[in-house]
A and B are shown apart, each in its own frame.
Chain A
């Protein structure tokens, strides 16, 4: 089974914050991390390849520095890593991103299974997985929380829903996205780290994936950012004081106003 796992490098959310008063960004040395959901996608890919046989290719679209994240993916069990990187990709929304990733997957000769994280924590869109499946015309399901088994070209898996879960039969080739409940990502082994050091990360640019330049990056993106601003500051804050009984009484009074509103 040939598996491709899509990984995105994202700024660590806790370092990004707009100051509502000055409207300036404070970022204490923006650190880049692997999107947390993608750690689970990677783990599931490695787990399935080990159990059912196959290979895992980690695929990312991003600036050259995302290569380091891909090395980390190899340390955690991916067999190969591919970075699609070109200035022309900058400003891509999910529509242009799925086009670029789809071109990359086609260039890599396709896959039996593609796994994505549910969403990336920078944009929180959760659109790239489904969009990519649509472009590649793959059977698709989102928010997989458990893969029960893979046999006879079919995956039996559970999809998380708002009110419970659905048990699905997904024929290969397919793409699914994962939620964090699916597994516990491993920590890189020493052997993995050694392998990661030596692995050659394949880099493909726009021409290398045979992309139509008009469909890439900002120009190829239907959505445009009109403006970016700080969220409204939270209103009044009150620390209640006094005895426990007194504080509870004050709280209930405040809550009555809220509950009756």
Chain B
């Protein structure tokens, strides 16, 4: 419960202003809590009078953190390749392992892994737990989850990280639940706190608010990490490490859900979530044909196309390309939006991009409020010129 000390409360209203849920109001000079309160604690931090307190209570599930050691990352492997996010996880994993003075290990599972484990070692892993079995050819939550849970129980790592990809976000929550461990989704920053706990920072409310999460009483501390945020280390081919080749017989690889077919629809194109450059189009493109211009620009820059919901709804491009509240969240180095008005539901999916370029003929379009570079103009004039000029430069 959120307690308010009537002796200390000055009725200043800072808590009321700071509540995302509209759960506090000052009545007759005294703060009062309403039922919407989620105990997020933001008001407690902001109360200068120290009048607010959240009764934490005794944690129900508790483990001894000293029993757990080591940083682990899950190295996603699909269709013959290790997902790039695995190398990014090794990058941040090395920093965390150094801060804790422990080893960094990777878990690699799938079928026909060849010598991919070596790449994980070059990128920073001290150890790789590898399970190569036909039963893991297709991704199923159950088999993959069983393997990871089994390994965690056996080796007790203190931290387990996975990419916030379709696969990571699908099966990691079940692993965490079965461990009684907390799980922080889609982190954009990770660090070790003074008390040795993992500080897990992530955007909430579509990036309007950042929250730092800790799991003081449970282990392992688990997080999924947004792709393209952490930096991979350059591969060091001289690095040595140990690959533990595991025996499939020790694991339960049965899965109730069967994969009948695995269809790749975006084979050659850069994957949107991993793209460093994104060229996005909105209703200003006027038709599906307008996307030809965008595709040309995206190809030229080696990036991916993306779209606002309006054009996905209009059927000009498929839903996997939608960015925003009900689509994907991206944070590329460069996001060029053409003919997108900048509705808040679109902004929440792309506002963490490093550089944002907006091309829109309406000078009052809200997209300009967050654009690093804005061009007020007709995209049908601007884009062809931009394409020509870029071509000239690269020649």
Contact = CB atoms under 8 A, between A and B. Distances in A.
A221 B182 contact: yes
Interface string B207-230: 111111111111000000000000
Interface in A226-257: 226-231, 234-240, 244-245, 247-249, 251-252, 254-256
Interface stretch (B34-42, B97-105, B112-120, B282-290): B34-42
Contacts of B42: 25, 225, 228
A234 B319 contact: no
B208 A37 contact: no
Given A91-B39, A93-B182, A228-B41, A122 B375 contact: no
B167 interface: yes
A98 interface: yes
A226 B214 contact: yes
A134 interface: yes
Interface string A84-117: 0001001101110010000000000000000000
A199 B302 CA distance: 55
A139 B142 CA distance: 8
Contacts of A215: 60-61
Q: Is the interface of B mostly helix, strand, loop or mixed?
A: mixed
A163 B265 contact: yes
B182 A140 contact: no
B35 A63 contact: yes
A95 B213 CA distance: 14
Contacts of A258: 333-334, 354-355
Interface string A160-201: 111111111111001000011100000000000000000000
Contacts of A16: 20, 205, 208-209
A240 B56 contact: no
Contacts of B390: 252, 255
Given A166-B259, A169-B258, A247-B382, A24 B376 contact: no
Contact of B373 (A37, A145, A240): A240
A130 B170 contact: yes
A224 B184 CA distance: 10
A163 B256 CA distance: 23
Contacts of A218: 39, 54, 56-57
Contact of B263 (A167, A212, A219): A167
B11 interface: no
A63 B18 CA distance: 20
A104 B139 CA distance: 30
Interface centre among A126, A134, A162, A170 (most CB of B within 10 A): A162
Interface of A: 11, 13-14, 16-18, 23-27, 29-30, 36-37, 63-65, 87, 90-91, 93-95, 98, 121-131, 133-135, 139-143, 145, 156, 160-171, 174, 179-181, 212, 214-215, 217-231, 234-240, 244-245, 247-249, 251-252, 254-256, 258-259, 261
13 contacts: A13-B345, A36-B325, A87-B35, A95-B183, A98-B177, A121-B205, A124-B185, A134-B145, A142-B170, A166-B261, A228-B210, A237-B369, A248-B386
Interface of B: 1, 14, 17-22, 35-42, 45-46, 54, 56-61, 78-79, 138-139, 141-142, 145, 165-167, 169-171, 173-174, 176-178, 180-186, 193, 199, 203-218, 256-267, 271, 273, 277, 301, 319-320, 325-327, 329, 333-334, 344-345, 348, 351-352, 354-357, 368-377, 381-382, 385-386, 389-390, 393
Given A17-B205, A91-B54, 14 more contacts: A30-B20, A36-B325, A87-B1, A161-B166, A163-B264, A171-B256, A212-B60, A228-B41, A231-B208, A238-B374, A240-B375, A248-B389, A254-B373, A255-B390
Closest 4 CB pairs of A and B: A91-B39, A222-B182, A223-B182, A134-B174
